[in-house]
Chain A
Amino acid sequence: MVIQMIEVEHLYKRYGNILAVDDVSFTVNDGEILGFLGPNGAGKSTTMNIITGYLSSTSGTVKIDGYDILENPDQAKKRIGYLPEHPPLYLEMTVKEYLNFIFDLKKVRFPRKPHIEEICRLVRIENVYNRLIRNLSKGYRQRVGIAQALIGNPDVLILDEPTVGLDPQQIIEIRNLIKQLGKNHTVILSSHILSEVQAVCERVIIIAKGRIIADDTPENLSRNLSTDHSLTARIAGPRADVANLLKTVPGVKAVTCLGAREKGVFEYIIEPFENARDIRPIIFERLAQRHWPLLMFKSNELTLEQIFLRLMDNAENNKQLFKPVNETKSEALSGQAAESDESAEKSQEEALSLSTDNQEPDSGQTLKDKEEV
């Protein structure tokens, strides 16, 4: 039987005029690792703070293993280990003193020494065990924060951006640790890094402007969103001829030349029709026939920002069609496009691929250096 470890129902949180959490409902089964994905200010931390009982919701209920966090806080909180966004550390304590304090605070019944030692081994902080937290680096502080959440071996772990501030080696370690913990714990972890969530989580909830806009497995999410993926190709050959050739390939909707990359080599963005079959082999064959070498060929993978844009657009379209889909809400979406523009400052190519991926609403838009062929 599947046990629902966390049940969140119709959660709202209002800060003055701002609706930080807007009708969030989901359940997490025992042993599931759930990723909470969203841009800054999406309401991830607020939702987590409400689940752990640090904040109260304006309305809605949270149940941990059947215990309501407001009506039965002792029982519910006993089952939660929480790593907040900012690890809650007393700087003037040593790691040893701090973990013993948390051990007392949580009224843990396990034998003290072996329990704390085991956790320290798990998160690799044995070598700083006797040092003041004040003198630890951010990565170590983060790990002490994780250790703190693990004390008492709670059923539910709620980790708010657990890998922030860690170096790549540590990030991999912590991800593996979370995966390992997920075998006998229920884990919610928040992140704004898509790959992290993909690597660790079995299920992803995407949240933006306080609303859940997607709730699915990472695979489904990227599959559903990447059906009409555009391709980037770098081809050596005369520009106009190559473009014309590409346009004749069945399934190609539009071809855009991004300009020369090397001498005689041009880069193109190829947009297939929606639900078209894979056009890559045909393109390869046609180019080969003409002896135009294909120097680079990749599908433009969706970044988190693009997934957001997609979901926003989907939601917007649904709204226009008056479809009562639960993830449509007008004001939640209007500002989102502007927000994701910030992320597009990186490179020209990315900016372009972003706008082509997002063709439905603004396909008429042309960028300065984008030359329609």
Chain B
Amino acid sequence: MLAIFKREIRAYFVSPIGYVVIVLFLLFSGYFFSFQYSLGSPDLSFVFSQMFSIVLFVIPILTMRLMSEDKRLKVDQALLTAPIRLSSIVLGKFFAAMVVFLIGFSGTLVFQLIISAYVSPNWIVYFGNLLGILLLGSALISIGIFVSSLTESQMVAAVASFAISLFVMLLDTFAEIINISIVKKIADWVSFLGRYEAFTNGIFDYSNVVFFLSFAAVFLFLTVRMLEKKRWA
């Protein structure tokens, strides 16, 4: 797993992808922070809640080549014939993407320090927010990895992931329009926005943590199954 992880981290920073993702995160979080700064609020929750849609649209860039590139270059033949488990291949890639994602949010720590120059900020709220964005990221990254494992083309993977992100974003809007109670209930239950906003509102609910973690686990598992399935095709 470590070998894959190290390679993927390197790959992110040899290609522009790692930099692009980090710059996008820093740029938008900085923009939202400057807005909040001008209002004089010491709470970064605003920044985090605004970052929701940015995360949705940047993560496909982060995950698009993770699995598809291996297939295209036929490196999967080396990976799958090495004495290493399929799950550690997938997890290595997952954690590499998570680390880049986390670096993208390193800017918020700087903002927190800027705030602490004026007032002492609430660190617990900050870490709650950070945990929220990490959980959201892990769920979305695992979906992205799964989509990437379905195709040989990075572009197809990216477009499909964008489509899924769009769906996730519009799910709450649909739920409002549709009047069938069962559909509404389901939409509310899977609503990424609702569950993520709980974190930015300062509510720490275990069910949300479990939701995002199990979501990530399911899609990572499905990715492993995809690799396995390829052998039997």
A interface with B by C-beta (< 8 Å): 15, 49, 52-56, 73-75, 77-78, 80, 82, 84, 86, 88-93, 97, 101-102, 104-107, 148
- Report chain B residues within 8 Å CB of A52: 81
- Asked if B4 and A92 sit within 8 Å, CB to CB, the answer is no
Chain B min CB distance to A118 (Å): 20
Task: Identify which of residues 195-233 in chain B touch chain A, using a CB-to-CB cut-off of 8 Å.
Answer: 231-233
Mark the stretch among B52-60, B71-79, B185-193 that contacts chain A.
B71-79
**Residue among A15, A78, A89 making CB contact with B75, cutoff 8 Å:** A89
- How far is A92 from B74 in the complex, measured between Cα atoms in Å? 14
- How far is A49 from B78 in the complex, measured between Cα atoms in Å? 11
Is B166 located at the chain interface by the 8 A CB criterion? Answer: no
13 pairs, CB–CB < 8 Å, chain A vs chain B: A52-B81, A55-B231, A56-B232, A86-B74, A88-B77, A88-B79, A89-B73, A97-B10, A102-B78, A104-B3, A104-B6, A106-B82, A107-B84
- Report chain B residues within 8 Å CB of A102: 78, 82
With A73-B83, A90-B7: A105-B78 Cβ-Cβ less than 8 Å: yes
- Asked if A92 and B83 sit within 8 Å, CB to CB, the answer is no
Chain B min CB distance to A90 (Å): 6
- How far is A88 from B70 in the complex, measured between Cα atoms in Å? 9
Is B179 located at the chain interface by the 8 A CB criterion? Answer: no
- Report chain B residues within 8 Å CB of A105: 3-4, 78-79, 82, 84
In this complex, the member of B73, B78, B231 whose beta carbon has the largest number of chain A beta carbons within 10 angstroms is B78
Q: Interface range on chain B: under 10, 10 to 19, 20 to 34, or 35 or more?
A: 20 to 34
- Asked if A77 and B82 sit within 8 Å, CB to CB, the answer is yes
Query: Closest residue to B2 on the A side, CB-wise?
Result: A104
Main secondary structure of the interface of B (DSSP, over half): helix
- How far is A105 from B8 in the complex, measured between Cα atoms in Å? 13
- Report chain A residues within 8 Å CB of B74: 84, 86, 88
B interface with A by C-beta (< 8 Å): 2-4, 6-7, 10-11, 14-15, 73-85, 231-233
- Asked if A80 and B3 sit within 8 Å, CB to CB, the answer is no
- Asked if B83 and A54 sit within 8 Å, CB to CB, the answer is no
- Report chain A residues within 8 Å CB of B79: 88, 105
- Asked if A92 and B14 sit within 8 Å, CB to CB, the answer is yes
- How far is A97 from B79 in the complex, measured between Cα atoms in Å? 16
**Residue among B73, B81, B83, B85 making CB contact with A90, cutoff 8 Å:** B73
Query: Closest residue to A148 on the B side, CB-wise?
Result: B78
Query: Closest residue to B78 on the A side, CB-wise?
Result: A88
- Asked if B81 and A54 sit within 8 Å, CB to CB, the answer is yes
6 smallest CB-CB distances across A and B, nearest first, come from A104-B3, A88-B78, A77-B83, A88-B75, A84-B77, A78-B83
Chain A min CB distance to B232 (Å): 5
